[in-house]
């Protein structure tokens, strides 16, 4: 058997985390490096919250809230409930133990330490062997422009406003002037396989690729690049990818996402249910394969990770 | 009946809060202004904690943890337990809902608002009608000098180290260069009665009086000034007042505290159990009276507050 490849995964939140849970069973967890979106990061109550970094960490630790896909299993919300009584908004449902992670991060950032080092420390404290790298240590908030000239932070769009459908465009300009996080470009250059996880292409993968140097590093890497469709049967599994894809003028389909990734990816995995789109994806110049992509449990995630690596490595 | 007096109370934590709970039943809560020690304030996990302000607020709100005398009744410690798992010290047992108060305060301070305004907002949110004023808005940490040249913040001395007895001196120099908080001097000047609550004279009342202008304002005020002994039968009810009094070379007794307050107070209330010291207190030039001062319930606190006001007003 050939040695397990070194895999770099570009990752957003829930979908990526569930894929990574399978990937770290397909190959040793230490062979995986997740490069994670920080465009969702935002201060709440003066505390630096990094939703996607924490979702990936908690999921790989087996500590994630199983139904919600974010936050910690069994967590309470006593702090934000008390903040609500003091007049604060509480639409971002940050749990108590989850808040501890963010308090730790905030204090360490204020002490002058870097987000990457802090993230590494947290994932080790949670017993996670997989490296988790923030895409950037610079602030790169993603904004969503809505009809009527309204402009909101992505978390306001998603968690506060319930992801309305009047998206006019997505503003990644802060990511567009950020520096890649420590280790990001090096990990990409060294990878044997690069996976674009089944995450929101607009607001999860988009910010990572918007950081100057990252897209070029992926394209220039010797490793094959394989994308996994986040769209099944014309709809996202979770989250507002449909509204955001429409907002940027893309088709809400596996094929529509493949079009966004053509020029970046060499290969593409789409769901069995989207078999009718296989030829269109191949016509984009991508090696493609269909399989079960709805990760309703860890075994499906494992099988999907295996199929994805096999396709990437052309085995 | 004469109208209820306007009372200013110099206050530390638990002892003062229990006294105030009686005072606001003896006269209308709005007639009371508590000027509270902030020498215990300290950052934990990057969050500004004000132990005495919160003890007074929670006690007057009826929300205090009844046995401990600090923190909120029924509070949990999920956040600090999780911070402990991330490698943080957790000797300061900050509860989750209690942390929310401090998070709110920290965020408001960072936004440029003043501690007095924030404290006022919190006490109103908790339904407290009594005005609660921080002695100062400037940082004035109290340090304890121990044998061997060790110097620790008061909360480290008390909560982390368990109040060792090798106190050599107490350093109030930060309070000594702070400015009085908004409204402090005005409240003292306007008062009909000034009460020095049964708090630790060294590290609770001491810092308040160390703030330039406060001691003089109390002495110059037209109002009678009455102290209540925090020592009963040669020992404090709670806390390390014995070790700190010895550390500054004072006698650990009702009479020893009266000596510290001579020149400041006109009158002094001591416990029945210390009746033998009454003449010594009178010899200091203080009008004095004994009564039950061990506030084991709200009714005792009410009776003590009434006796204290009667003595002050010479009724």
Beta bridge mates, A228: A269
Tokens representing residue A203 in the block: 């607001």
A76, B80: Cβ pair inside 8 Å? no
> B298 — contact with chain A (CB < 8 Å)?
no
Architecture of domain B7-139+177-312: 3-Layer(aba) Sandwich (3.40)
C-alpha span between B104 and B45 (Å, rounded): 14
**Is residue A262 scored above 60 in pLDDT?**
yes
Q: Residue A315: its pLDDT value, please?
A: 75
Cβ atoms of B133 and B183 within 8 Å: the answer is yes
* B80 in reach of chain A (CB within 8 A): yes
Is the Cβ–Cβ distance between A214 and A133 less than 8 Å? no
| Euclidean distance between CA atoms B188 and B191, whole angstroms | 5
Interchain CB contact of A107 with B (< 8 Å): yes
Of B47, B78, B107, Cβ closest to residue A97 = B78
Q: Does A82 touch chain B (CB under 8 A)?
A: yes
The superfamily (CATH) of domain A7-141+173-313 is CofD-like domains (3.40.50.10680)
The count of other CB atoms within 10 Å of the CB of residue A69 is 18
- ipTM of the complex in this document: 0.92
The rounded distance, in Å, linking the Cα atoms of B26 and B3 is: 12
How many Å lie between the alpha carbon of B174 and the closest alpha carbon of chain A?
23
Contact B104 A86 (CB under 8 A): yes
The pTM for the full model equals 0.94
Span B259-284, average pLDDT: 97
Residue of A nearest to B111 (CA): A46
Residue in A closest to B86 by C-alpha? A125
Q: Taking a contact as any Cβ pair under 8 Å apart, which residues of chain A between 264 and 283 contact chain B? A: none
- B92 interaction partners in chain A (CB closer than 8 Å): none
Subunit contact B79:A96, Cβ cutoff 8 A: yes
Quote the pLDDT of residue B1: 47
A112 CA: distance to closest CA in chain B (Å): 13
- Identify whether the C-beta of residue B203 lies closer than 8 Å to the C-beta of residue B168: no
At B29-61, the pLDDT tens digits run: 999 999 999 999 999 999 999 999 999 999 999
The enclosing H or E element of A226 equals strand A225-228
Which of these, B232, B233, B226, B231, lies nearest to B245 by C-alpha position? B231
A46 contacts B106? CB cut-off 8 A = yes
- What are φ and ψ of residue B48, in 5° steps? -80, 110
The tens digit of pLDDT for each residue in A78-131 reads 999 999 999 999 999 999 999 999 999 999 999 999 999 999 999 999 999 999
Nearest to B96 among A96, A101, A122 (CB): A96
The Cα B252–Cα B231 span in angstroms is 7
Q: What is the pLDDT of residue A196?
A: 98
Domain-by-domain residue ranges, chain A?
A: 7-141+173-313
pLDDT band for position B5 (cuts 50, 70, 90): very high
Alpha helices in B225-287 (DSSP H): 241-247, 254-261, 278-283
Mean pLDDT of B204-208: 98
Q: Which value, to the nearest 10 degrees, does the dihedral of the CA atoms of residues B188, B56, B69, B258 take? A: 0
Q: Extract the tokens encoding B230.
A: 């925090």
CA dihedral A95, A97, A98, A101 (to 10 degrees): 150
Q: Mean pLDDT across the stretch A58-72? A: 94
Residue A3 has a pLDDT of 82
The Cα-based distances of B308 to A289, B85, B241 in angstroms read 85, 48, 21
What number of other Cβ atoms are within 10 A of residue A41's Cβ? 24
Residue A98, φ and ψ in degrees, nearest 5: -65, -40
CA distances to A281, B269, B308, B309 from B273, rounded to whole Å, are: 91, 12, 17, 20
Q: DSSP states of A195-217 as a string?
A: EE-SS-IIIIIHHHHHSTTHHHH
- Which residue in chain B has the smallest CA separation from A121? B86
């Amino acid at each position: 058997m050939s040695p397990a490849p070194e895999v770099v995964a570009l990752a957003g939140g829930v979908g990526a985390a569930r894929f990574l849970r399978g990937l770290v069973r397909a190959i040793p967890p230490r062979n995986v490096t997740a490069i994670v979106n920080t465009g969702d990061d935002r201060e709440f109550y003066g505390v630096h919250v990094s939703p996607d970094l924490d979702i990936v960490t908690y999921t790989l630790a087996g500590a994630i809230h199983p139904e919600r896909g974010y936050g910690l299993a069994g967590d309470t919300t006593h702090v934000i409930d008390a903040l609500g009584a003091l007049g604060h908004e509480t639409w971002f449902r940050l749990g108590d133990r989850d808040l501890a992670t963010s308090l730790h991060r905030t204090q360490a950032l204020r002490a002058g330490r870097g987000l990457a080092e802090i993230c590494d420390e947290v994932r080790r404290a949670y017993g996670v062997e997989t490296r988790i790298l923030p895409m950037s240590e610079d602030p790169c908030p993603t904004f969503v422009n809505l009809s009527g000239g309204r402009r909101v932070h992505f978390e306001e769009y998603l968690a506060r406003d319930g992801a309305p459908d009047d998206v006019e465009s997505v503003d990644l300009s802060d990511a567009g002037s950020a520096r890649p996080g420590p280790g990001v470009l090096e990990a990409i250059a060294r990878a044997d396989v690069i996976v674009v996880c089944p995450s929101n292409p607009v607001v999860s993968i988009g910010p990572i690729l918007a950081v100057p140097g990252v897209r070029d590093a992926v394209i220039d890497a010797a490793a094959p690049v394989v994308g996994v469709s986040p769209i099944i049967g014309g709809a996202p599994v979770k989250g507002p990818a449909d509204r955001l894809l429409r907002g940027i003028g893309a088709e809400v389909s596996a094929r529509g996402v493949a079009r966004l990734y053509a020029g970046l990816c060499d290969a593409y995995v789409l769901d069995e249910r989207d078999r009718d789109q296989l030829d269109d994806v191949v016509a984009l110049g991508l090696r493609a394969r269909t399989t079960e992509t709805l990760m309703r449990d860890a075994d499906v995630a494992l099988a999907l990770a295996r199929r994805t690596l096999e396709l990437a490595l052309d085995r």
